[in-house]
A = this chain, B = another copy of it.
Amino acid sequence: MGDIELVLVQLFVIIALAQVAKMVCTWIKVPTVIGEILVGILIVNTFIYDFIDLETNRDFFDVLKELGVIFLLFTVGLETPFSTLRKVGKTALLVATLGVILPFIAGFVFMTFMGYGELESLFVGAAMVATSVGITARVIKDLDLTQSIESRVIIGAAVIDDVMGMIVLAIVVGVAGGGSLDIIHVAVVSLEAVAFVLAVIFIGSLLLPKVVEKRQKKRLEQTCLTDKKKNGFNPLPLALIVCFALSALSAYLDLAAIIGAFLAGMAFGEFRDRFPCEQKIEPITEFLSPFFFIFVGIGVVLDAFSDVLLIAVILTILAIITKFIGCGLGSLKLGGKSAAIIGVGMIPRGEVGLIVASLGLSMFIVEEPIYNAVVFMCMATTLIAPALLVMTFKMKNKKQDKAPRFKTQEPQ
C-alpha cells in the first residue's frame, strides 16, 4: 500500500482543481480544456506541486497522461468513420502538406537568421510542424461539432500531418545522426508510415466491416435468440485490445501512439451500430483525458522562459501565422470562413512539438533555452487555438444558423 495513499491524495487534488476550473470555464463560456491546462500551470508554478509531492509519482501520472490522449484519440476516431473521412481526403491532404511545409521553413529560416546552428534550426523547424489534434478535437467535441466538414478536414489533416511530422523528424534525426541526409532511411520510414496507415484503414475500415456484416447476417439466419444476455456481446475488452495493439504498433513503427489509437477508433466507428462501445469508452476517456491537458500545463514552468522570451514570442507568432496561412490556403475552396476555421484548428502543437524538442535536447543538439522557447511555442499555440476556434466558428455561424453537416452514411 503506502504509495497509493499519496496517489489518492494527488488524484483528489488534481481532479477537484480541474473540476473547479471547468466550472469557471463553463460559466465564462471558454472551452473547459483551457481550464485544465491552466490548472496544470497553476499546480507547477505554485506551492501545490510540492505540497502534493507530485515529483514522487510523476512517472505514474506521465503514463496516465499518455493513456489520456490515447483514449481521447480513440474516442475521436470512433466519431470519424472512414466512410465520411474519405470525402474530405484530398482537401485534408492539401491542408496537411501546406501546413507542414510553411512552418518548417519559417522555423528553420528564423533560427538560422538568429545565428543558431543548422542542426538546431532543423530541430526547431521540425518541432513546429505537427499539429496536436488533441486540443482541437476536444474543443470541437465540447462545441458538439464533430460532424461538421471543418472538423473532419482538421482531424483528417492532423492525422496526415502527424505522419508527415514523424517523417520530418526522422529526416532531421537522420541528418543529425549521420551528418548527412540518408535517403534510404528517409524512404524506409516514409514508406512504413504511409503503409501502416493505409493498411490499417484498409483492413479495419473497409475489409473487416464487410466480413463482420456477412457473419452477422449468417448468424441472424441461424438463430432466433433475442435474449440480451446471450446476444449482448461486451465490446469493451475487444475495443481496449485493438486500441492498445494498434497504439503500440504505431509507437513501435516510430509513429506517435495516438495515430494507432485514432485508427483503432476509426475502425470501431464502422461498427458503431453493432458494437456500440462509445458508452463504455466515453467514461474512461472522461476520467483519463483531463490528465493529458493538466500535465501539458504542468510542463510549463514559467520562470524558465524569461531568458528567451523574445525568441519564444516570435516563434509562437511564426507558428500561428504559417500554420494559419498554410492550412487556410489548402482549404480555401471550402470558402473563406471554413478555411479560417481549419487554419485556426491546426494551430495547436502540444505534445508532438514537445517530443521533437525533448529528442533534440537529449541528442545535445537543441540547447536548454531554445528547448524552453519551443515548449513556450507549443503551450502558447495550444492555449490560443481554442479561443480562436470558438471565435471563427461563431463568425461562420453568424451568417448561417448552423454549420453545414455531413450526413452520416453507413458504408455498403
- Chain B interface: which of A113-121, A145-153, A242-250? A242-250
- Select A4's contact among B11, B18, B257, beta carbons within 8 Å: B257
A251 contacts across to B, CB distance below 8 A: 1, 4-5, 8
- Select A283's contact among B59, B245, B279, beta carbons within 8 Å: B279
Q: Are A12 and B284 within 8 A (Cβ)?
A: no
Q: Is A201 an interface residue (CB 8 A)?
A: no
Q: Are A8 and B247 within 8 A (Cβ)?
A: yes
A237 contacts across to B, CB distance below 8 A: 15, 18-19, 22
What is the CA–CA distance of A63 and B60 in the complex, to the nearest angstrom? Answer: 8
Q: Is A236 an interface residue (CB 8 A)?
A: yes
A288 (CB) vs chain B CBs: closest residue: B284
Q: Are A9 and B63 within 8 A (Cβ)?
A: no
What is the CA–CA distance of A129 and B240 in the complex, to the nearest angstrom? Answer: 37
Q: Is A50 an interface residue (CB 8 A)?
A: no
Report the minimum CB–CB distance from A259 to chain B (whole Å): 12
Encode A198-241 as 1/0 by CB contact (under 8 A) with B: 00000000000000000000000000000000000000111011
Encode A1-41 as 1/0 by CB contact (under 8 A) with B: 10111011101100110110010000000000000000000
Q: Is A280 an interface residue (CB 8 A)?
A: yes
What is the CA–CA distance of A9 and B22 in the complex, to the nearest angstrom? Answer: 33
Stoichiometry (number of copies): 2
Q: Are B257 and A1 within 8 A (Cβ)?
A: yes
Q: Is A281 an interface residue (CB 8 A)?
A: yes
Q: Are A252 and B59 within 8 A (Cβ)?
A: no
Report the minimum CB–CB distance from A55 to chain B (whole Å): 14
A67 contacts across to B, CB distance below 8 A: 4, 7
What 11 new A-B contacts, CB under 8 Å, besides A19-B238, A279-B283?
A: A8-B70, A9-B248, A12-B244, A15-B237, A15-B240, A18-B237, A240-B287, A279-B279, A280-B283, A282-B283, A283-B283
Interface size of A in residues (CB-CB distance below 8 Å): 44
Provide a sorted-by-A list of 13 A–B residue pairs whose CB atoms are within 8 angstroms. Answer: A1-B66, A1-B257, A4-B63, A7-B67, A8-B247, A9-B248, A11-B240, A11-B244, A12-B241, A12-B245, A22-B237, A236-B283, A283-B283
Q: Are A5 and B63 within 8 A (Cβ)?
A: no
A70 (CB) vs chain B CBs: closest residue: B8
A284 contacts across to B, CB distance below 8 A: 283-284, 287
Q: Is A355 an interface residue (CB 8 A)?
A: yes
Q: Is A154 an interface residue (CB 8 A)?
A: no
Quick one: given A12-B244, A15-B241, A245-B12, are A4 and B283 in contact (CB under 8 Å)? no
Q: Are B59 and A287 within 8 A (Cβ)?
A: no
What is the CA–CA distance of A247 and B59 in the complex, to the nearest angstrom? Answer: 21
Quick one: given A237-B15, A248-B9, are A1 and B256 in contact (CB under 8 Å)? yes
Q: Is A367 an interface residue (CB 8 A)?
A: no
